[in-house]
Amino acid sequence: MLLAIGPDKPGIVNTVSAFLTERGCNIEDSKMSVLGEDFALVLLFSGALPSIEKVKADMKSLESSASLTTLLKDTKAPAASRKEASLPYKLEAFGMDHPGIVNEITGVLHKNKINVESMETGVSNAPVSGTPVFHMLIKMTVPTSLSIGKLKEELIKVEGKQNLNITLTPAEI
């Protein structure tokens, strides 16, 4: 897995993908986004051992040529047999922005052994007032042993405490 971050500019994705391709590696999965003034990439890539070793050996050249800070981590596909039976769900939340929203919601998820598969958050300004409005989208897997009614009750408490609107819906597989 390759994590990279650097000043946002055109061509970063092409530079990183060319770097991996030239060394015989293939990008299998990725998440990329502009955050502030920077561009962040998380890439799961594969290749034969000599190709992976070449990527490791040449990483400093990628960092200097593309002005990136990088981290390489060996990883492998998750073992399906180790995962508890679960169902995909989607959680959406929005309300006036303030500290603690992400912590409060993810605290409920953690307590109930819910795995966050992906999460996106952001703040935008309300059209008329300009008030900062927080929005969140979480794709997660909920253990089949957990009562969805119980989870909804806990999220209703968070709605009141954090002054949010939270929706929980089954997600498509």
Using one digit for the tens of pLDDT, what is the confidence trace for 136-167? 999 999 999 999 999 999 999 999 999 999 99
Sheet-wide strand order for 69-72: 26-35, 38-46, 2-7, 69-72
Cβ contact 142:89 at 8 Å: yes
Give the tens place of pLDDT for each residue, 115-133: 999 999 999 999 999 999 9
Q: Above 80 in pLDDT, residue 82?
A: no
CATH C-level class of 2-72: alpha beta
Q: What is the mean pLDDT of residues 11-16?
A: 97
pTM of the model: 0.84
| CATH class of the region 81-170 | alpha beta
Looking at residue 33, its pLDDT comes to 96
Q: Where are the domains of the chain?
A: 2-72, 81-170
Residues of the chain above pLDDT 90, percent: 93
Residue 80: pLDDT band with limits 50, 70, 90: low
2-72 and 81-170: same fold? yes
| CA–CA distances in Å: residue 40 to residues 60, 112, 134, 161 | 17, 30, 21, 33
Amino acid (one-letter) located at 13: V
